[in-house]
Structure 1
Amino acid sequence: MNKISLLLTVLLFVSGCAKNETGNLNISENNSAIIGGTAATAKDLVTHSTVSFLMEYQGKPLSLCTGTLISKNMILTATHCLENLGEGIMAVYIGEKLPEVFDRSKLLKVAGWVTHPHYKLIEDQNRVPITGVNDVAVLRLADEAPASAIPVPILDPKTSLQEGQSLLLAGYGLESELNVPVYSTGLNYVHVPLAKIVDAILVTDQTNNQGACSGDSGGPAFLETAQGLVVVGITRGPHDQAQDCRHYGEYTYASKFKSFILKATAQLKGEAPKFVTLQ
């Protein structure tokens, strides 16, 4: 099995909203995305802070995962999106429509990343993924993001989330995972309620046939505030071994990893993100 085939096999297993393990609503050999959502436009705030990780596959761009711009040169994402990749294999894209051609000269180059040292995929006795812990990573861009990009702050641990709050999800993943998958050609977003909080995991209610799916892994769950968008979660995957994207999803609770995010950013010599408290 060559490197690309191995990578795609791993991504299909670890990401995808459908039967995924860690619940990062995964990537697959095609880009997967938000279901039941709305196509983002150039004017939407999510477009200026949500990014796609692209690689070239069979001559075309393949969207592997999603991430969130948290400073001019730092991106917040999931460990499972990066742990099996070489740094030269992908580039970063910001925009509402995915490019039709993989042209590195028009994409953002990656300088490096740090994955959480204690990330772990948890499986049942049959090796079926149940969840994942410490599924958080940061990536540094080689240069600053373009002026049109708008980094978002992260919710500070001093502010607590409440069940029932509305979360804004964004990603480049599947628009439908049932029967014949429908792959997104751009960024989509959708609002879902926060169902519950389990330790460092946010569980989103997607039973209204809306939510994150394969290819959205690593992407953001935002709060919409008077201060603008604030990122609170990182897409991980399906919750409670859901077999599709229409049950419950899991997000890594970003606030719980403030120390890791700041330490890893310093290690990469990147611009530190801001953490904000809300009233």
Structure 2
Amino acid sequence: MRPVSVRAFAACVTLGLALLVPGESRALSGGAPARQGDALTRATVFITSLTPTSRTRAQVANCTGVLIERSLVLTAGHCLADLGGPSVVVAQFFDGPDSIAHTIQVTAGAMHPDFGGRGDADNPRPELLGADLAILRLARPAPKDRRPIPIARQPLKAIETRSVLAGAGLRTPSDESSSGQLRLAAVKAEVVTDGPTAVAFGTTGGAVCRGDSGGPVMGQGGLWGVVIAIVRKRNLCNSTIFVAVLDPKSKGFRAMLQKARKGR
């Protein structure tokens, strides 16, 4: 079993310029506590990595993800880096909003082949935003009471339905101890770029902050997107977000899925 090195980042978009700039991973502040037994609640995971920086210190980073197969978790691509590195990465399942019922180690992962890294103010690369996806492979299948969320067969139609975002990061932006509670918030979104790596722009019923990158967005037709960036002006959190629209039939998504299934 080899650990995966995962670093949590978030691409933040400058409101006036709509450009991606480097930042930290974001999480949901506000919304409502997840309901016990809810389908999205039981499929969402909190991804935590521990990376030693010295003999006595380590860096901890978090993202959110969602179970799409019993051993596979979908998240944002910028949450995954340096496969085979020194980090220990685990996926934590929830039993309601607070309790972590199960913890399973991540052993491998695959990025979307079109993901070329995060953009910046000089080179925003908007055409690559929708490829900000990755799939993590768990050391063992999720518990039997956990059911993967099916990906929407018609994601563009699912976007038009009532949608919900799940996130498990900071409830209070300045309080590092406030992460780890799973919360849900309503999302209204519309597609702003098309193609196999489409992107949707949306607003939520809560602010997205550190830890919510990779958070699943689900409509009546199934799972249609993953949170990849926030739009911010001055504060570190905001209710306006960018979402990578899933296209499971696309060549890039299928290649990523196949690689993750193989676990190498």
TM-score band, normalised by the shorter chain? 0.7 to 0.9
Count residues in correspondence.
242
Which consecutive residues of structure 1, in runs of 5 or more, have no partner in the other structure?
A: 1-5, 100-105, 272-279
Contact 1:69 1:152 in 2 (8 A): yes
Is 1:248 the counterpart of 2:240? The answer is: yes
Which consecutive residues of structure 2, in runs of 5 or more, have no partner in the other structure?
A: none
**CA positional deviation for 1:165:** 3.7
Task: Show the counterpart of 1:97.
Answer: 98
Structure with higher strand content: 2
**TM-score normalised by structure 1 residue count:** 0.71
**CA positional deviation for 1:74:** 1.1
One-letter identity of the residue aligned with 1:55: S
Tell me the secondary structure at the aligned position of residue 175 of structure 1. Answer: coil
Task: Show the counterpart of 1:275.
Answer: none
One-letter identity of the residue aligned with 1:217: S
Contact 1:201 1:251 in 2 (8 A): yes
Task: Show the counterpart of 2:27.
Answer: 33
The alignment yields a C-alpha RMSD, in angstroms, of 3.7
Is 1:143 the counterpart of 2:171? The answer is: no
- CA gap 1:16/1:124 in 2 versus in 1, 3 angstroms: closer
Hey, what's the Cα distance between the residues in 1 that align with 2:93 and 2:186?
A: 21
Hey, what's the Cα distance between the residues in 1 that align with 2:164 and 2:244?
A: 15
Contact 1:191 1:211 in 2 (8 A): no
Identity of paired residues, percent?
23
- CA gap 1:223/1:23 in 2 versus in 1, 3 angstroms: farther
Hey, what's the Cα distance between the residues in 1 that align with 2:181 and 2:61?
A: 10
**CA positional deviation for 1:42:** 2.6
**CA positional deviation for 1:68:** 0.8
- CA gap 1:258/1:87 in 2 versus in 1, 3 angstroms: farther
Tell me the secondary structure at the aligned position of residue 216 of structure 1. Answer: coil
Q: Please point out which of 239, 254, 260 is paired with 2:252.
A: 260
Contact 1:87 1:110 in 2 (8 A): no
- CA gap 1:162/1:70 in 2 versus in 1, 3 angstroms: closer
Task: Show the counterpart of 2:131.
Answer: 134
Hey, what's the Cα distance between the residues in 1 that align with 2:227 and 2:249?
A: 14
Task: Show the counterpart of 1:45.
Answer: 39
**TM-score normalised by structure 2 residue count:** 0.75
Contact 1:135 1:252 in 2 (8 A): yes
**CA positional deviation for 1:186:** 1.4
**CA positional deviation for 1:44:** 2.1
One-letter identity of the residue aligned with 2:203: D
Hey, what's the Cα distance between the residues in 1 that align with 2:181 and 2:11?
A: 17
Is 1:113 the counterpart of 2:119? The answer is: no
- CA gap 1:232/1:211 in 2 versus in 1, 3 angstroms: farther
Q: Please point out which of 189, 195, 207 is paired with 1:194.
A: 189
Hey, what's the Cα distance between the residues in 1 that align with 2:113 and 2:262?
A: 19
